A and B are shown apart, each in its own frame.
Chain A
Amino acid sequence: MTDSAVLETTVAASSGGGIMRRLNVLTGTVCGVVLAVVFYFAANAMWATHIGPYGQVPTGSDQTVVAMLLGWVIGFLIGIGAFVAPFKWLLGRDQSHDDEMFGAGKNQGVMRYFRFTTDHKVVGVQYLVLAMTTFFVGGVLAMMIRSELITPGAKLFGNQTYNSLVGMHGIIMIVSTIIMVTGPWGNFIMPIMIGARDMAFPRLNALSLWTLVPVVPMLLSVAFLGGIPTGWVAYAPLSDQAPPGMDAFAISIILFVISSAIGAVNLIVTAVTMRTKGMTWSRTPIFVIGITLTSILGLVALPCFEVAMFFTVLDRTMAATFFDAAHGGSQWLYSNLFWLMGHPEVYVILIPAMAAVMEMVPVFSRKPLFGYRLAVLGEIGIVSLSILVWAHHMFASGWAPALNGPFMLTTELISIPTGLIFLVIIGTLWRGRIWTRLPMLFIYGFLWNFMIGGVTGIFLSDVPADNELHGALFVTAHFHYTLLGGALIGGMGALAYWFPKMTGRYLDEKVGKLAFWLVMIGLNVTFMAMFFSGLRGMPRRVATYGHEFAVSNLITTLGAYVIFAGMLLFLSAIINSWRSGEPAGENPWQAKTLEWMVASPPILENFEVLPVVTGDPYGYGEEDSRHAIMAKSHNSHSSTEAHS
């Protein structure tokens, strides 16, 4: 397909699409419910309650729940048309060009967001809305948890409910933070940033999103199936005792990992093979490198969680004994599998946000990125080491005490590449022209919060100190500082930065800045007080506590309410600005990466003519530097010069 032929296809694709014209999220839901019911009856017919080889009695309801949920997801994907194209191929029929254009959402207006649409920009918006929805649910759960802990005597929920709230808050926030930067901006921005028209596998892109959408009601169904008693880590053997909510949790994880793996493959192949002419690796924006490394890490590590959940389901439904120490299994098998995922996972959360911060800081300092190669080395260092540190979560488990020293070594080594990232950011700020627009505030917030989070991680990496601090609120405060204060704040900055490109409008600066300050002050109050609770000796995941922890918990709860208020304000800014914010042009921040050389929002094909890259995108202050040659077209949308 030549570029000129693309331009000629301006007539509405009134043909094309076939059955896809009739399929959308509604048909998906209906089909999902139907198949869930069918699988329910099938499961009940197939499984009578039976005695396992060691006398265990797997309850019929576990198999039924698993079967129903699988039916729901498979039915949903069938109903939304995820398998239409592959099925047609099996029958020997290719998609026509009109089919592909319909599939990409051409001329469908807002309906394209409710269909199995392959355009990466549509998928990016869908991920953003999905992430905001799950964050909202996770935030409400946090408010419920903190309200229970406002005083020692507060009793809003029963203990089982409270334990479930804690677990649900954890998993929903984990899912939200994993997708929050990679989903919206890895999808929407990254292909444009490398000068491509879409991702390597557009249909897989839609599949990874639409696999995740039915997971959300599945996760919420945990609440109606007895909840989970384990926290999001779902340790065996407590997971074996749990009500059927545990099965819903496990199936949700399995599908979430499948969705993430599909997305990761797509991102990696896109970045490796579809960079436009002239974009060598050393001219590739740091955000692209970060997303690629994150995807590699996630692809390797997340499946460990999937395996652990699969084994949990087998233990619960088929009388397997993977984690049953009395019958040849081991609970430490679970812990190791889980943390093999669990540590890389936090870097899967952090690195995209960190890479976005490093992408933004040159723009708002008007200076080149200080030490581009350091940034790349730092990210590679973090990713490589993160696979070698998992057992620092198990220092207190009693598993392999001889390995405590080596894991302390590898964990403390991570501070070196992480320090390089800090050097890159502050080196870029130094002697720049500091432009304090909304994204820059989030960069400063990241620097403050992640510093505290990182330093407190050092305490936890020391084995004897960890023996005091593990399982207590010090750990909780540490990871909230890094994940909320670091990654989420960086992610909100990325949203403020790329919002004009996605919507054509500025995110309201005034409301955004107020929201920033509320969240910043709130989170520092909340989690600094939480450090105090943990140091004093308060365990984590507890429904109540002794009077010596009353003051710190009260402060923590009040701070949490402030965070929530700030987040609601931020949400209101997003919604209002999306509908009626101040229009932004092609390049409101005068940045140099390729996404700022096209319209806001971009045309379906992103570029009229694909650019040719001639340098890196950080040439601020350099006379002759130019990132790319954008060919002038007679259909050019903007009056700004074509060279970046």
Chain B
Amino acid sequence: MSADDGAQGEAMSDSTSSQPPQERPGWPSHIKALLWIVAILTVVLAIFEWWWPGATMPVDASKTEKAVQDTMVVFSVAAAPVMALVWGIALYSLFKWRHRGDGVPEDGPAIRGNNKVTLTWLVVSSLLTVFLLVWGLAELTATTSTATNPLVIEVTGQQWVWSFKYPQEGGVTSETLVLPVDRPVLFKVTSTDVIHDFWLPEMGIKVDANPAVITQTATTPTLLGTFNVRCAELCGLNHAFMQTTAKVVTSADFAAWVQSNGGTVG
């Protein structure tokens, strides 16, 4: 991508004179300097963007969360050249053509536009948008495809606790979530009072719990361990405390847990 207004034939590279425009062969020096700055900025930003999601997001404990974190990295890195270009041009202009001294500066060149630059910008931004869209739609399809024979769990939110029911396991109820690893799970979520939001941060899934309606979300846990269940929609007084745990165990341990809670393994 180039800001190619050097193609107009004007090349005023110092900031103080109002000399007549001079022809110079090749690209003016300020275009080359800008390209270097943008390239360096892109690399620096891309490194930060590539590092940032993994360093801050929770451990990925499900297929969905893995997809989400990959998206964050890809989108972040894709943003790096855009940020570098915009900030590069802005900062380069500031340092290269800054007016010093008191008094109003004299006028700059009367550049009202540049068709090449505009067209390039439009094409590139459209392509970037198409890329984001294609990636996003592919990811959306992948993460919402319905599995055959998922473990169905009914989730009920009420001010201010979560409760879970396992209809396929003989109706076992629990106030903490227990999940077998590597088995697709389908959550059917509802509320008895106001809107809550069922969120498993480490598994990257979230859906509102609405009164008189059942909403759904699904994933496949891939990591053993204890994770968080949080409410992500302000639901009144104790919204901050509407949390519980989600324990991912082996299928053997899961069967044992079901039976010890009076259910039958479905």
Bound: A501/B119 CA distance, A = 38
Q: How far is the CB of B206 from chain A (nearest CB, A)?
A: 5
Kindly state whether residue A310 has any CB partner on chain B within 8 Å: no
Chain A residues 293 to 330 lying within 8 A of chain B, measured CB to CB, are 325-326
Picked from B64, B67, B234, the residue with its CB within 8 Å of the CB of A238 is: B234
Picked from B87, B112, B206, the residue with its CB within 8 Å of the CB of A368 is: B112
Q: How far is the CB of B198 from chain A (nearest CB, A)?
A: 9
Picked from B53, B75, B118, B135, the residue with its CB within 8 Å of the CB of A371 is: B118
Q: How far is the CB of B172 from chain A (nearest CB, A)?
A: 24
Q: How far is the CB of A367 from chain B (nearest CB, A)?
A: 4
Q: How far is the CB of B135 from chain A (nearest CB, A)?
A: 8
Kindly state whether residue B169 has any CB partner on chain A within 8 Å: no
Q: How far is the CB of A45 from chain B (nearest CB, A)?
A: 33
Residues of A within 8 A of B234 (CB): 163, 166, 229-231, 235, 238, 540-541
Residues of B within 8 A of A372 (CB): 112-113
The answer to whether B240 and A408 have CB atoms under 8 Å apart is: no
Picked from B83, B143, B236, the residue with its CB within 8 Å of the CB of A464 is: B143
Kindly state whether residue B3 has any CB partner on chain A within 8 Å: yes
The answer to whether A412 and B132 have CB atoms under 8 Å apart is: yes
Picked from A373, A425, A465, the residue with its CB within 8 Å of the CB of B72 is: A465
The answer to whether B213 and A427 have CB atoms under 8 Å apart is: no
The answer to whether B108 and A471 have CB atoms under 8 Å apart is: no
Picked from B89, B139, B228, the residue with its CB within 8 Å of the CB of A462 is: B139
The answer to whether B71 and A464 have CB atoms under 8 Å apart is: yes
Knowing A237-B195, A331-B195, A468-B206, say if A374 contacts B113 (CB, 8 Å). yes
Kindly state whether residue A401 has any CB partner on chain B within 8 Å: yes
Chain A residues 516 to 539 lying within 8 A of chain B, measured CB to CB, are 531-532, 535-537, 539
Residues of B within 8 A of A448 (CB): 87
Knowing A367-B109, A370-B111, A423-B118, say if A435 contacts B99 (CB, 8 Å). yes
Bound: A458/B133 CA distance, A = 10
Kindly state whether residue A444 has any CB partner on chain B within 8 Å: yes
Residues of A within 8 A of B235 (CB): 238
Residue on B nearest A450 in the bound complex, by CB: B86
Knowing A448-B87, A467-B68, say if A458 contacts B132 (CB, 8 Å). yes
The answer to whether B107 and A463 have CB atoms under 8 Å apart is: no
Q: How far is the CB of B13 from chain A (nearest CB, A)?
A: 9
Q: How far is the CB of A19 from chain B (nearest CB, A)?
A: 48
Picked from B67, B86, B195, B230, the residue with its CB within 8 Å of the CB of A451 is: B86
Residue on A nearest B130 in the bound complex, by CB: A412
The answer to whether A434 and B189 have CB atoms under 8 Å apart is: no
Most buried by B among A163, A235, A468, A531: A468
Bound: A528/B98 CA distance, A = 29
Residues of A within 8 A of B197 (CB): 396, 470-471
Residues of B within 8 A of A471 (CB): 197, 199, 206, 232-233
Residue on A nearest B231 in the bound complex, by CB: A539
- Among A215-223, A542-550, A594-602, the one that faces the other chain is A542-550
Knowing A416-B122, A458-B132, A464-B204, say if A427 contacts B107 (CB, 8 Å). no
Kindly state whether residue B253 has any CB partner on chain A within 8 Å: no
Picked from B15, B56, B58, B107, the residue with its CB within 8 Å of the CB of A367 is: B107
Kindly state whether residue A160 has any CB partner on chain B within 8 Å: yes
Picked from A235, A401, A470, A544, the residue with its CB within 8 Å of the CB of B232 is: A470
Picked from B5, B110, B211, B213, the residue with its CB within 8 Å of the CB of A620 is: B110
Bound: A430/B135 CA distance, A = 34
The answer to whether B140 and A408 have CB atoms under 8 Å apart is: yes
Kindly state whether residue A409 has any CB partner on chain B within 8 Å: yes
Q: How far is the CB of A542 from chain B (nearest CB, A)?
A: 4
The answer to whether B109 and A237 have CB atoms under 8 Å apart is: no
Knowing A231-B234, A408-B137, A535-B56, say if A543 contacts B105 (CB, 8 Å). no
The answer to whether A436 and B99 have CB atoms under 8 Å apart is: yes
The answer to whether A370 and B113 have CB atoms under 8 Å apart is: yes
Kindly state whether residue A447 has any CB partner on chain B within 8 Å: yes
Residues of B within 8 A of A542 (CB): 239-240
Bound: A447/B193 CA distance, A = 44
The answer to whether B94 and A396 have CB atoms under 8 Å apart is: no
Residues of A within 8 A of B231 (CB): 539
Interface residues of A (CB under 8 A from B): 159-160, 163, 166, 229-231, 235, 237-238, 241, 325-326, 331-332, 365-374, 396-398, 401, 404-405, 408-409, 412-413, 415-416, 419-420, 422-423, 425-427, 429-436, 444, 447-448, 451-452, 455, 458-459, 461-465, 467-468, 470-472, 531-532, 535-537, 539-545, 589-590, 618-622, 625
- Which 5 pairs of residues, A with B, have the shortest CB-CB distance? A398-B215, A471-B232, A537-B201, A621-B110, A325-B212
14 pairs across A/B with beta carbons < 8 Å?
A159-B240, A163-B239, A374-B113, A397-B215, A398-B189, A422-B86, A465-B71, A467-B68, A468-B201, A536-B56, A537-B228, A544-B240, A618-B112, A620-B108
- With A398-B207, A621-B109 already in contact, 8 other A-B pairs whose C-beta atoms are closer than 8 Å: A325-B213, A331-B195, A432-B108, A433-B107, A433-B108, A434-B97, A451-B86, A539-B240
